[in-house]
Structures are given as C-alpha cells and as structure tokens.
Structure 1
Amino acid sequence: MSGSRITFHVGQDGQPEALERVAAHVRAQLARTSHEELRSARRPVFAGIGASFAALAAPVEVLRAHGVAAQRVLSSEVESGLSGFDTDLLLGVSQSGRSSETLAAFTAAEGARTVAVLNVSPSPLGDLADLTVDLGNEPDSFASTIGFTGTIVALDLIAGAMAGRAGDPWQGIGARVRSVRELAAAAIAPLLPRAAACVAADCVASGGSRTSAEEAALLLREVPRMPAAASATRNYLHGEMESAGNTLHVVFGDGREIDLAHTLSGAGHLTLLVTTQDVDPGEHLGVVRIPEVAVGPRAVLETVVVQELVQALSIERDVPIESFVFANHDTKQGGLNPEDFAVAALTSHSS
C-alpha cells in the first residue's frame, strides 16, 4: 500500500481492520533497538497542524499523567526554531509528510532530536527526521478517517513507551470500533433533521478528549460544511456557551460534561453527549455510550462517533462528502494533488 486515496465511506468501513494493522505495525517499530531513545525523552514538544495538531491532545494527556513534561504546539509556532522551549525532543506529526509548517519546524530545529510520525513513507518530513514512526502507508480519505485514528494509535503507543506504561490498551480495538459505530448510527438518526438545520456547532471536551472535540469541529467544517468550534469544557462554561441558539452541541466526557449536556438540552438546545456513563436521552439530548477505555482508545471511539455524525449530516444537508471548496497550495510541499479531489468527488450519497 502507498498511502493512496479512498472515499470517506470506504475509510469508515475498513477502519476496524486498518487500526489493528496500524497497532501491530507501530508496535514492531517501537520494539527495534533504533527506537529505544524515544523512551528516554523527558521534555518532548509535540507539533502538528490541522488534524495532526488535534491528535496531539491525547498523548500529551497520557504523558503528563505519568509525570512527563510534554507540550503541544502548532507547527507554525516553532517554524523559526525551538528558542524559548526547554525540550529534548521535537515530535512532529504529518500524515502525508508534506505539511509545510511542520517541515519548516524540522528544518529550523536545533538542540533537540526530531521524530516524525507519518502515514506516507518515505516522505520529505521523514527525510529530515532523526527517527520516524509510520502507520504503514494506509489508504486514507481526503477528509481523514483511517489516517487520523491511526495517528492516535501511533501517538498513544509512543507516549506509552515514553512513560514506561504497563500493558497495551489497543487489544480488540477493531471490534470496539464496529460496535461504537452501530451505537452512534442509532443515536444520531433521530437528531438528523434538526441537526442539519442548525447554523453552527460547538464541540466541547476536556483532557485527552480535546482531540475528539477539535477533530469534530474540523470534520463538521470539512464534510457537511457546518461552521463549528472546539472548546475546553471549563473555558466553555466561562461565557462561550452564551451564544447557544439554533446550534448543535457535541459534548464528550463523564464529569462536568454530563451536567453541561443537561443544561444545554434542558434549555432546548440540541445536544449529542458521548460518554461512558449511563445517561438517559431526552427530547433535545442524544446519547452515545462508549466503553470505559484508556485515553487513546477513547479518543478513537469518540472520533468514530464524529465520523458517523458528519457523514449522516452531509446526506441530510445535501453536501457531497469531501466536496472541498478551497485548495490552498502552500499547505503541502509541492502543492495539493488534483487526484485527491478526483477521488473525493467519487463519494456520493449512494456509496
């Protein structure tokens, strides 16, 4: 496989098996002697842009819980170098290995080892890095499915190695993905007519689930073209929720998030809660209950719910999936590949 393009639907359908492959592929790489130095990093800076930046919230949460002083930054923040960052390792994420901002960050990096987490290998970013971890050139959709969730798998396994974590939380991930997708479809279906008429969406979470909220906001913009924003739970409570009105609220979490979901839905605002807790749905509240798992697998399962939501909304809003409007040719080295748009255009409501 060579990181080729597939449609969003094909990505969803093949995701359970793909994630099992990615986990096995990354485990094998981390077992090599050449990757042993990852375990000694104590002050890593994680950098990415777009969806790759969103994916970094989960591993940073894992590392901080184990006492490792990890930071998450936009690649554009370190394009001029690591001055001002007390770090011993720069880990950059780019599924294509061609993201302009991450390439600039690696070019300017001095005084720290560099690790590239990629799907496509070989790639320009991999060529710059001291060390690479790749997903195995998995085919992915333009609005990412397997590439994004596979990146979460890889980053979590890397974080586990850095932290000296016991055990592997990724056993059985394929079966869990299939089960959660079915639960999500059932919970989302009654919400669709009203959700499709919403003018915007707020996606709210804390901790490692900020990965899910940020990816949700991005996919809502990319797939059904719904204006969306991601917020940290406690920040959302400090005024951001005041703009609720004909908005869809997607809330991830088990603590204050449940109260938030009840507050919003109780005031008549359409809310989808993704939680491990036993919460009853209501007139304005949809609930997807996911299994209790570790931070990384939870972010993947929450993202599976989001993928189901956006593909259903694209149909309801009559927006063909991946019918992208803007082509920004300075975001990837060598510009965008026209074939990406050609494959995306193949996706139809009947696929």
Structure 2
Amino acid sequence: MPPPSRPRTPRTPRTPPPPITAPATHPGPGRAPSRGGLGRPWKGTTVSVPEGTIPYRQARAAQPAALERVARRLAAQLGTPGAFPAAVRPVFAGIGASHAALALPVALLGEAGFAARRVLAGDLPPGPVFDSADLVLGVSQSGRSPETLAALALAGPERAGALVNAVPSPLAAAARWSVDLGDEPDSYASTVGYTGTLVGLTMLARHLEGWDSARALAEWAGTAELLEEFEEVLAPVVAEVTAHGAHVVAADFVGSGASLGTAEAGALLLREVARVPATALATRTYLHGAMESAGRTLHVVLGDGREGELARSLARAGHLTLAVTAAPLAAEGTLHVVRLPGLA
C-alpha cells in the first residue's frame, strides 16, 4: 500500500452486476424468510418492545428535548469541583455503539493536542494496554457491559472514569469519577442513549481541554430546534433513498475521523433496526479494495473531504449512494445528499 502522503486514485467502481437471488432466510433465529430491500421488513417478523425500553420511533421523537436535558445535566455535574481530573493521555473504552461514539472525543482531543485514543473493550490487545494512560474512561449506556467493566478493572480504580445513562449502574460504581445522562428512556437500539453519549463525550472532551461548564453547555444551545428543523430536511431524502432501495441486500458505511464512529453506529443501527447486513469501514481502507464488491449495495458516505469524490464515483457507476456532508455536494443520478446544517 502506498504511504499516506501519496494515496492512490481509486479505480472507478464497476457497474452493478445483474440481479441475483436474495438470501432465502434471515440469519437471525426465529425470523421468517424473504426480504425485499430497504424499507421492507422481513415478512412475518413481529416487532416487540423489550421490557424497560421504549419504541424506536418514540425514542427518535424524544431526542431533541432529551439532548438539551442531557447537556444541562452534564454541565451541572462537570461544574462540580473535582468532578473529573485533568488528563492529557486519556483512553476511552467501550463496545458496540459506545465504542463507535468514542471516535468523536478522540478526534476533538487530537485536534487540541491530546494523546487520546479509543480501545475496543471486548478485544483488548495483549500487554500493558493502559500503562501510558492518565485517565481510562469506560462508556456504556446501560452501565452493565461486562467487557467495559473488565477493561475498567484492568485499568485500576485510581484512574477509572465512567460515562453512563442508567442510574445507578455497576460501571459508575466501579469508577473513581463518573457522570451520567440522567437515566433517559431509550429504545432497544440505543437511540437517545447513543446521541446523548455523543453530547456527554463532547462535553467531557471540552472539560479536559479546560473549558468551564457554562462554555461547554453553550455549545449545545438551540440543539432541540436545530434537530427538529433538520428532520424536516432529512425526511424527503431518506424517502427517496428508500424508494430506490428495493434491490439492496447490504449496506456499506464509510467515513474517517469522527465520521468513522458515525459510520460504525449507522451500520450497527441498520443491522439492529432494519435487519439489513451492513459494514463500516474507514475511507482510505474502503478505497484500497473493499469498494470493488459494489453491487446491490447502499453506500452511505460520511465526510467533507475525499468522501465527496468517492460518493460521486460510486453514483456515476450506477450505485445507490447517500452522502452525508457539510460540503457543497450536489445530488445527481443515484447520488442523494444530506447537507448537514452549518454550526456557528
């Protein structure tokens, strides 16, 4: 592979292959066969709401107001003297959607000159994983993830922190420092819990950067109104993608930096909620071979850099593509674009 300073120009992806027969059965237990693309659930599938959770649509509708509550609660907690220690080499640990969320604070702190990193709690490398860390922050919406609990135990109580939603929780109890989202009601697919975790991780990153709680809270002013307006902009684009997605049997999510975490969370959400096989990859990794299997696939490309060219290349080869970007990218053919709102 060429060095990063000389990235190769990707080959134009091949045109979609002829239609193939979709899998006859759903891989999950107890699921009935036959599915037909995006927006069309597995026939015979019954959707139940697990005890202690709320329906997915209800959780989505609750997000705007919930995120403003979460921001206010975290500002109050972080404004307490000694709430969290100063740290320049923090390590964030989580699994599943919580691990995906960790890409955001790592990117923010990296931009500020911190040696921050994230680790997958369920697959820690051998050796002294946390020796160089001055803070190990375990993240789990439920506060019960056994892998994250084990990672925090490995780090030791003297430098263990936690961010959770559920109150009380074993993870918070095992940490020397902890903050929580306020036990917000959530869906099984971790809707408000995930987006609230992003708010919490951002505010924690700002705290480590030296921001006071009032300044960190001000960054989230108007969140509810912005999200409600964005939903109106988003709805017709999603409807178009769904309408053109009857042939889709899988989805690729692609991004870099903080957007890689969004890609990971998006792929997981599509698997959990829509039951569509989905994979997340870093942009440059995708360009080095992974995109060659394009065909009967939805491509969700997130980012403002090389991702724009990638999205155009995929769409011009006839592939259904959704670009999520703040860059001035125009929709064309099979390329659909969600423009992220500008932030002051």
Give TM class, smaller chain: 0.7 to 0.9
Residues 265/140 of structure 1: CA separation in 2 closer, same or farther (3 Å cut):
same
Identity of aligned residues (%): 51
Deviates further, 24-33 or 78-87: 78-87
Aligned partner of 1:127 among 173, 177, 195: 173
For residue 28 of structure 1, what is the aligned residue in structure 2? 76
Cα 1:79–1:138 shift into 2, 3 Å: farther
- What is the CA deviation profile of residues 209-251 of structure 1, one whole-angstrom value per residue up to 9, with x for unaligned ones? 1121011110111111111111111111111111101100001
- Alignment pair present for 1:198 and 2:248: yes
> How large is the Cα RMSD of the aligned pairs?
1.9
Residues 91 and 130 in structure 2, CA contact (< 8 A), matched pair in contact too:
no
Return the match for 1:103 from 146, 149, 162: 149
Q: Count residues in correspondence.
A: 290
Q: Distance in 2 between matches of 1:6 and 1:270?
A: 32
The residue that corresponds to 1:19 in the other structure is 67
Structure 1 residues 67-146: aligned runs within 5 Å: 67-78=113-124, 82-83=128-129, 85-110=131-156, 112-146=158-192
**Higher CA-based Rg:** 2
Cα shift readout 1:57-107 (whole Å, capped 9, x = no counterpart)? 001000010011001001124498854641111100011111010111122
Does the 8 Å contact 2:157/2:176 carry over to 1?
no
The corresponding residue for 2:236 is: 186
For 1:273, give the aligned amino acid: A
Query: Aligned partners of 1:197 and 1:161: how far apart in 2?
Result: 46
Matched, 1:173 2:223: yes
Aligned to 2:93: 47
Q: Which moved more, 1:190-199 or 1:151-160?
A: 190-199
How far, CA to CA, are the matches of 1:214 and 1:266 in structure 2?
25
For residues 264-303 of structure 1, what are the structure 2 equivalents within 5 Å? Answer: 264-293=314-343
CA distance in 2, matches of 1:105, 1:144: 21
Q: Is the 8 A contact 2:321 2:335 kept in 1?
A: yes
SS of the equivalent of 1:293 reads: coil
Q: Within 1, Cα distance between the matches of 2:293 and 2:91?
A: 34
Unaligned runs of 5+ in 2: 1-50
Q: Residue 264 of structure 1: CA displacement? A: 0.3
Residue 197 of structure 1 deviates from its aligned partner by 2.7
Letter in 1 for 2:114: V
What do residues 137-177 of structure 1 show as CA deviations (whole Å, max 9, x unaligned)? 10000011100000000000000111225843211111111
- The residue that corresponds to 1:222 in the other structure is 272
The runs of 4+ residues in structure 1 deviating greater than 6 Å are none
Structure 1: gaps spanning 5 or more residues:
295-351
Q: Which amino acid aligns with 1:71?
A: R
The reply to whether residue 246 of structure 1 matches residue 292 of structure 2 is: no
SS in 2 for 1:132: strand
| Deviation, structure 1 residue 292 | 2.7
Query: In the alignment, is the contact (CA less than 8 A) between 1:87 and 1:112 conserved in 2?
Result: no
Distance 2:72 2:276 in 1: 36
Helix, strand or coil at the partner of 2:83: helix
Tell me if structure 1 keeps the 8 A contact 2:157–2:175.
no
Q: Whole-Å Cα distance in 2 between the matches of residues 201 and 56 of structure 1?
A: 22
Q: Secondary structure at the match of 2:244?
A: helix
Cα 1:204–1:19, aligned 2, differ >3 Å: closer, same or farther? same
Between the aligned partners of 1:111 and 1:133, the Cα distance in structure 2 is: 15
Task: Output the CA distance in 1 between the equivalents of 2:115 and 2:240.
Answer: 43
Q: TM-score, normalised by structure 1?
A: 0.79
User: Contact conserved, 1:23 with 1:154, CA < 8 A, in 2?
Assistant: yes
Q: What amino acid is the match of 1:224?
A: A
In structure 2, relative to structure 1, the CA distance for the partners of 1:191 and 1:94 (3 Å cut) is same
User: Residue 88 of structure 1 contacts residue 112 of structure 1 at CA under 8 Å; is this kept in 2?
Assistant: no
* Aligned counterpart, 1:9: 57
